[in-house]
Amino acid sequence: MSLGTTTSLAFKRTTDEKTGSIVTQLTPDSSVCNRNYFYQKCFTEDGNKLLISANFDTERNYHLLDLHNETAIHLTEGKGDNVFGGFLTTQDDALIFVKNNKQLIRVDLKNQEHSVLYEVAKGWVGYGTWVPNSACTKVVAIEIKDTDYMELNSWQKFAQFYHQKPLCRLISIDLKTGQRTTIFEENIWLGHPLYRPNDDNTIAFCHEGPHDLVETRMWMIDENGDNMRKVYEQSEEESCTHEFFVPDGSKMMFVSYRPNTNKRQLCSVDAQTLAFKVEAEMPACSHLMSNYDGTLVVGDGSGTPVDVADNTGHGIENDPNLYLINLSDASIRPITEHNTSWKVLNGDRQINHPHPSFTPDDKSVLYSSDVNGTPAIYLATL
């Protein structure tokens, strides 16, 4: 299947009798499909087109799905697409993604023309999800020394990698010139680099690893490498995860949890002052994402976390719901059941994570689930 080829899809609509939500399955049961990472841009501004990953031929590649025509255009081809980290540009004119942990590639949405924006230097491996600033002129990224790198295709390796203390560097890349600037480098596993929206001087990153072993997960640093600061001082038994910036840049939100309870807290810090707030007590959601101004949050109910060292202490019953948390009136309600298995598939630890987020009009949520046998992408109305 060559670039620009259109695949016809037949959306399947059902109504959740308990909640009234209309659930639309966008991708077919026979394919392996997933949405991108929850804070990366996937919808065009008008909400009509959606970036997805699908193996409509043999490889898992990017496609641009047309929600009105129920079709998808093939944007990339061949092996090695990082199918979680890719994003649409702010200008809606291109997909930007990493190929083979090596090249940062721009794909023109109109003609699928590819251009290499940046090439990882010899001796390093491009790792994880790379995130643009609001103007989409730069990305922040993590690179890992190649001799320290290993493929993280199981949760056992995820834990092992933490103890290995790989040499990591937090970098920013100028998308016009391809110039790399190292912001911070250390023998600690680093992850989740983020530009604060509308403030290029504030960059966030995390200390990655089993959540109950990492002492302080979330950090911020100025773009020039100065002023590294803890985002939040965790208490001894507290685990924090899945931090993201509210899209208007006002706050960083994250999930906080402790052993021997299925209760979770949705917490935030003011992105400027780091003033801490518990926004809501909530069911056991793994990932959260907010709407533009942080008044609405969607979360995916989950079971015992896999990314902790103490699975027994953190053992909880599975919660299959997607939740809508309204912070304006402090209400929480189920949207529908995602019923995903959370299983690792062919070495992919993330593919069966729901990773929910809002459509641009806040009227639906997008998520992934393998409830019908294979990973697929869904929209559920609110």
Using CB under 5 A as the criterion, which residues of the chain lie in contact with Mn ion when the complex forms? 350, 353
Minimum Å gap between C-beta 141 and Mn ion is: 19
Residues sharing a CB contact under 8 Å with residue 101, sequence separation 6 or more, in sequence order: 80, 82, 120, 125, 126, 127
Minimum Å gap between C-beta 353 and Mn ion is: 4
Q: Outline where the chain has alpha helix (H).
A: 155-164
Q: For 108-143, give one letter per residue: b (16+ CB within 10 A) or e.
A: ebeebebeebbebeeebbbbbbbbbbeebebbbbbb
Cα gap 146→165, rounded to integer Å = 13
Residue nearer to Mn ion on the CB measure, 28 or 209: 209
Cα gap 88→90, rounded to integer Å = 7
Residue nearer to Mn ion on the CB measure, 84 or 195: 84
Residue nearer to Mn ion on the CB measure, 112 or 241: 241
Cα gap 230→95, rounded to integer Å = 32
Residue nearer to Mn ion on the CB measure, 25 or 286: 286
Residues sharing a CB contact under 8 Å with residue 235, sequence separation 6 or more, in sequence order: none
Minimum Å gap between C-beta 355 and Mn ion is: 6
Residue nearer to Mn ion on the CB measure, 49 or 353: 353
Residue nearer to Mn ion on the CB measure, 55 or 350: 350
For residue 253, give the nearest of 312, 179, 162, 192 by alpha carbon: 192
Cα gap 45→174, rounded to integer Å = 24
Minimum Å gap between C-beta 287 and Mn ion is: 6
Phi and psi torsions of 159, nearest 5°: -70, -45
Provide the CB-side half-sphere exposure for 246 (13 A, CA): 22
Residue nearer to Mn ion on the CB measure, 351 or 380: 351
Minimum Å gap between C-beta 354 and Mn ion is: 8
Give how far Cα 145 sits from Cα of 105, 149, 159, Å: 21, 6, 18
Is residue 239 within 8 A of residue 211, CB to CB? The reply is yes
Minimum Å gap between C-beta 207 and Mn ion is: 17
Q: For 351-376, give one letter per residue: b (16+ CB within 10 A) or e.
A: bbbbbbbbbeeeebbbbbbbbeebbb
Residue nearer to Mn ion on the CB measure, 128 or 166: 128
Minimum Å gap between C-beta 375 and Mn ion is: 13
Closest residue to Mn ion in the complex (CB)? 353
Minimum Å gap between C-beta 18 and Mn ion is: 26
